[in-house]
Structure 1
Amino acid sequence: MASSKPVYVLGVGLSHNGAACLLKDGRIAVAIEKERLTKVKNDGGNDALAIAYCLNAAGIGWDDVALVVQNANFGSFAYGNRWYRGERTIPEGVPVTTISHHLAHACSAFFLSPFDDAAVLTVDGCGNAFEDCMDLDGAILPERPEGELAALYFEKDSYYAASGSAVRTVFKDFSPLGRFQTDYPMHPDTTRHSIGGVYAGASRYALGSLSDLGKLMGLAPYGQPGAFRHRIFDIRDGRVFVDYGWMAEFRDRMRSAADFKARFQYFADIARMVQGEVERALVELARARHALHPSPNLCFAGGVALNAVANTRILNETPFEHMFVPPAADDSGLAIGCAYHGWRTILAGEAVRDEGSPFLGRSYDTDTAQIDRALEAVGDGVTIDRPADLMAAMADTLAQGKTLAWHRGGAEFGPRALGHRSILADPRRADLRDYINAQVKFREDFRPFAPAVLAEDAATYFDLDRDSPYMLFVVPVREEWRSRIGAVVHVDGTARVQTVRREADATFHALLTAFKAHSGIGMLLNTSLNRRGQPIVETPVEAATLFRDTGLHALVVGPYLVRKPQ
């Protein structure tokens, strides 16, 4: 596709966690999740704002876009592209292609991965209906609903063989639509036999919300082993089914925050049971799929792939030797998968190795007007400095036990903050864990925090023999370090680790190195720059407002270090 003019492909996902991604000659130029713009957690549907953000950030117009590739769970745009939960901006004449939900997930994982050949597993709560799937050819299909039923069976897990530009479907499993009115206390809202659906149902039962399914994973280690011993999933011939009989004794869901606290152990015991069963089902599923297309390399996507505890077990307990989970494994990643499918499969564009950076938003570092407005928004009584050695000044502030908000570069794409929209703290200060939960994040006190660590030092502190750049693997903390880094060790002695390599993020690596010079440890507590119920911040002004309105002690925006009084 040799051309003097750049070729732009736009991918959009219009599910919950909506997003847009723009490729320029096969590389991601910019990508954004809709929630970062609307400030509505997990916002989806209409894509006009996200599309406008990407086009504006790239400095192009619709005349420059060669192709749009899209996905939405229901309907697959049977009524055209002019309206989808609001007026859309795609003009007539721009080519538009629609692909299946699970295929979009699979493309987001494989084309971002370091592998030339891999197996790809997609597992989530609900994908497209059977009648809307366009990736059925050649696949093993244990369910073949016909007639009216084709609209009532939805993707629940899919398995692909990927090589070069080809992502070939090997196996697709479908489930009938769940009955929304049935009084099952943990009934999935979508499909009846979905691993992701059960996890969502249990989250709603125990925590009262679907806004952050990672809460259930954080709650599970507080549960008592064996308190509940139900077999949630029946696995037959490599297929996963939900056995609803076990739900009969669970009729007393969480009613309020006070109720949750009063019955904390009950809900923690449920979380432990569900988490353990999800891990068991995923391990057995991965083993069964490996037999259909053996590969040493596994790419894993779909919302269930954000379960970092299960990811570690899949890698340790199945024949797969290497595993890649993209930073946006959930539905926000659909936009990336759509864009890559357009470039690699539809336009037959040349393979361009992705550099692995999750920092895909526009940068505000040189936007002096934005930074000036942020400094005006920080409030009265603060100290604003421009240190000659910013890394040393930040490390010194952190070593004093201060919590520090860091806003720089383009925002992370996906649910994990990885050093561009982060709150940082000294991991040796166990008291800071409770302080950040209560005074900064305003969230439940059982929620753990992740360590960001120099990749070359990771094995010193953790039982870890691989990179974990996106916080998508949970591993044991070495016994001798558990009491020394209490702010980032979960109750079961594990941690969800982020490894930082110099070649991947030289600035964050430099900060960790500077903190190591102060403290002797190349690690920091790292959590997302937001508060409960809100998306991660996008702009410097949003970061400054969060700093002003919470118990954060310090803020770095652009070259400036802002500190509140002692």
Structure 2
Amino acid sequence: MRILGINSVFHDPAAALVVDGDVVAAAEEERFSRRKHGKQPVPFSAWEQPERAAAWCLREGGISAADVDVVAFSYEPTLVDNGLDGLDPGWEDLRTTYAERAPRFLRTALPGIEHARSRFVPHHYAHAASAGLAAPFGDCAVLTADGRGESTSMLAGEYRYGKLEVHAQQRLPHSLGLMYEELTEHLGFHRAGDEYKVMALAAYAKPAHLSDFAELVRVADGGFTVAPIDWERWAPRRRPGDEMLTAHAELAASVQVRLEEVLLELTRWLHDRTGRRHLAMAGGIALNCVANTRIADEGPFDEVWVQPAAGDAGTALGAALHVAAESGEAVRPMSGADLGRGFGEAELAAKLDAARVPYERPDDLAEEVAESLARDEIVGWFQGRAEFGPRALGHRSLLAHPGHAGNLERLNDVKGREQFRPIAPMVLTERAPELFGRGPIPSPYMLFVHDVAEEWRDRIPAVVHVDGTARIQTVDRNREPLLARVLDAFAARTGLPTVVNTSFNTAGRPMVDDPVDALECFGASPIDLLVLGPFVVRRPGVRR
């Protein structure tokens, strides 16, 4: 069966194609529109469909819109309870109307799709499927948490014989995600988009108000309650660009630690209910890699897997997987996060020729890149299919030398980011235990933090956060042979088995997705070497 999954109601609109239980393609609309997060998560944008992402998924699968059997939408409008707090007062009916009419909107964008059946999948069921059905270990426990779905903000359950069994859901207005969004906005960041900045800020202070938040956020039987919060009680509201005070960092730390504690209690409850050894997670909260590490390290499960596209984009994939499983198809796990667009050598050369930039094809690309990195140059790295989800995983990355502390500030300047935000390392899986501890290894999707070994902290200062941790990506030599050769060659030159890996983009822009995006970013940023497949472009004046 050919199933097109669609996420369109809130933010991060995306499409995914699942054929006979196999994940064929998945992409976010932002990579095509070049608008960060695709759209604003407001009711009057809910009509917008990920039409370019959907059209590309069909092309990648070699089918037309008329060949699609089912379109699975990751939102069930009949589940919205307008009597609940936590919805958008005065506007929720509009969102629901647009969600109900989503099939009609999509038919306008994709002629021929009207022959397909439409299925509305509950939002948290879609999150659950994106984790539990895509994970590498079969039947497992599953936990999802975010701001909100139709009327819930959390689901705890398990997969038995490939089918979801729900043990608990948390009704609105109680929501860990909405609480974190409110804090994000109070601290002067963009709500429903900048929550990762709050997680980074939390490392700069102690959780001075933890006891207060233990009273405000309580765990119940398979759920929780969140009392109304007056954020001004602990720190003044910060406007964008204002000075960041210690009080702001202490507030961030307090909420972050309480979030971790609540998630740990929920996972223990879920383990007691299911007896499962494995846990799969999704939802925006599952992008909190600090909390994920505590769950993996202190929680009751032997293994924790997090969907790389854990946010709402992943529900496009989850909706398709859910329908496939409910239809009796054998669903196979994700093989990796590289589910987006890829370009052949001829296509890349044609784009370079059209741009009229001088380029070359080195005899040994890995050695060429390692030499550039060893000279402390910044490398724009564009290889293979684009990543699905918010993390750059060695396909659309900026690479740099981790041994120079100034490269943190340098890369944050290149990307237009706040200086308190860390950058991450990539390391070969077999070398990771030498440098990093506590978090799970392998960690291919950069969704956990790891403690950096004391003897390595001064050697790779650019990737060590203020609390001594790093959000690592492990590289599998068999799956990523070219990247592994770069790491080997860099280690041979410097003695360092890791390089900086951060997303290939600048502030307020999505990650580059096609070669033109990469060329534009290279032209507008102080990147020294651009790698497009087998080709390299050097910035004028950069030595060879």
TM-score for both structures, normalised by structure 1: 0.86
Task: Name 2:334's counterpart in structure 1.
Answer: 354
Distance 2:303 2:26 in 1: 27
Per-residue CA deviation, residues 514-556 of structure 1 (Å, 9 max, x unaligned), is 2122222221100001111111111111101101101111110
1:333 equivalent to 2:314? Answer yes
Residue of structure 2 in register with 1:490 after alignment: 465
2: CA distance, partners of 1:80 / 1:417: 30
Residue 520 of structure 2: aligned partner:
545
User: Are the counterparts in 1 of residues 131 and 306 from structure 2 also a CA contact under 8 Å?
Assistant: yes
Query: Match of 1:71, as an amino acid?
Result: S
What does 1:224-263 align with in structure 2 at a 5 Å threshold?
224-226=206-208, 229-231=211-213, 232-244=216-228, 247=231, 249-250=233-234, 252-257=236-241, 259=242, 262-263=243-244
| 1:136 match | none
Residue 217 (structure 1) aligned to one of 195, 199, 208 = 199
- Identify the residue that residue 372 of structure 1 maps to in structure 2: 350
* Deviation of the 1:227 alpha carbon: 6.2
Match 2:398 to one of 401, 415, 423: 423
Separation in 2 of the partners of 1:195 and 1:90?
40
Residue number in structure 1 paired with 2:131: 109
What SS does structure 1 have at the residue aligned with 2:140? Answer: strand
Q: Name the CA distance, whole Å, in 2 between partners of 1:174 and 1:284.
A: 18
- For residues 292-347 of structure 1, what are the alpha-carbon distances to aligned partners after superposition, in whole Å with 9 as ceiling and x for unaligned? 2221110111000000000111122221111110100110100111111222222x
Distance 1:349 1:466 in 2: 31
Matched ranges for 1:407-422 at <5 A:
407-422=382-397
Is 1:447 the counterpart of 2:394? The answer is no
User: Is the Cα contact below 8 Å between 1:48 and 1:89 reproduced in 2?
Assistant: no
**Structure-to-structure mapping, 1:13-92, within 5 angstroms:** 13-15=7-9, 16-44=11-39, 45-72=48-75, 74=77, 75=96, 77-79=99-101, 81-83=103-105, 89=111, 91-92=113-114
Which deviates further from its counterpart, 399-408 or 334-343? 334-343
Partner of 2:381: 406
What does residue 152 of structure 2 align with?
Answer: 155
What CA distance in whole angstroms lies between the structure 2 residues aligned with 1:39 and 1:276?
34
Q: CA deviation at 1:410?
A: 0.9
Matched, 1:461 2:435: yes
1:507 Cα offset (Å): 2.1
| 1:266 match: secondary structure | helix
- Contact residue 183 and residue 231 of structure 2 kept, 8 A: no
Distance 1:13 1:53, change over 3 A: same
Is the alpha carbon distance of 1:224 and 1:373 closer, same or farther for their aligned partners in structure 2, counting shifts above 3 Å?
Answer: same
Pairing 1:430-441 to 2, within 5 Å after superposition: 430-438=405-413, 440-441=414-415
1-structure distance, mates of 2:163, 2:210: 44
Q: Which runs of 5+ in 1 are unaligned?
A: 1-6, 129-153, 176-191
DSSP-derived class of the 1:207 partner:
coil
Aligned pair partner of 2:500 in 513, 521, 525: 525
SS in 2 for 1:200: helix
Question: Which among 261, 267, 271 is matched to residue 290 of structure 1?
Answer: 271
Task: Provide the C-alpha distance between the structure 1 equivalents of 2:372 and 2:409, rounded to a whole number of angstroms.
Answer: 19
For residues 333-389 of structure 1, the C-alpha deviation after alignment (integer angstroms, 9 at most, x for no partner) is 00111111222222x22343432x110112113343x5433455486xxx6321000
Residue segments in structure 2 that go unaligned for 5+ positions in a row: 40-47, 78-95
What's the TM-score, normalizing by structure 2? 0.89
User: Aligned in 2, Cα 1:311/1:451: closer, same or farther, shift over 3 Å?
Assistant: same
Q: Which residue pairs with 1:139 in the alignment?
A: none
Higher mean alpha-carbon deviation, 489-498 vs 312-321, is at 312-321
1: distance between equivalents of 2:180 and 2:110? 33
Provide the aligned length of Structure 1 versus Structure 2.
509
1:378, 1:545 within 8 Å by CA — same for their partners in 2?
Answer: no
* C-alpha distance after superposition, 1:217-247 (max 9, x if no partner): 1111112442665214122334211122553
Tell me if 1:9 matches 2:3: yes
Name the structure 2 match of 1:310: 291
Give the Cα separation in 2 of the matches to 1:350 and 1:220: 42
Cα deviation, residue 510, structure 1: 2.0
Correspondence for 1:301: 282
**Is the deviation greater in 241-250 or in 472-481?**
241-250
2:56 alignment partner AA: Y
Residues of 2 paired with 1:91 and 1:390: CA distance?
43
User: How far apart are the structure 1 equivalents of 2:232 and 2:69?
Assistant: 54
AA in 2 matched with 1:14: S
Q: Which residue of 2 aligns with 1:390?
A: 365
Residue in 2 that maps onto 1:473: 448
* Aligned counterparts of 1:274 and 1:84: Cα–Cα separation in 2: 40
Does residue 95 (structure 1) correspond to residue 69 (structure 2)? The answer is no
Query: Match of 1:70, as an amino acid?
Result: F
User: RMSD of the alignment, in Å?
Assistant: 2.1
**Which residue does the alignment assign to 1:203?**
184
8 A contact 1:9–1:23 mirrored in 2: yes
Q: State the alpha-carbon separation in 2 of the partners of residues 378 and 123 from structure 1.
A: 48
- Identity percentage over the alignment? 37
| SS of corresponding position for 2:143 | strand
Aligned mates of 1:474, 1:354 — CA distance in 2: 22
- Decide whether the 8 Å contact of 1:403 with 1:425 is kept in 2: yes
Q: CA–CA distance in 2 between the matches of 1:171 and 1:546?
A: 45
Q: Cα offset for 1:19?
A: 0.6
With over 3 angstroms needed to count, the CA separation of the structure-2 counterparts of 1:90 and 1:496, relative to structure 1, is farther
User: 1:403 and 1:520, CA in 2 relative to 1: closer, same or farther beyond 3 A?
Assistant: same
Distance 2:397 2:322 in 1: 31
Deviations 1:440-461 (A, max 9, x none): 1011111101110000000100
Q: Say if 1:89 and 1:234 are closer, same or farther in 2 by CA, change over 3 A.
A: farther
SS of the aligned residue for 2:208 comes to coil
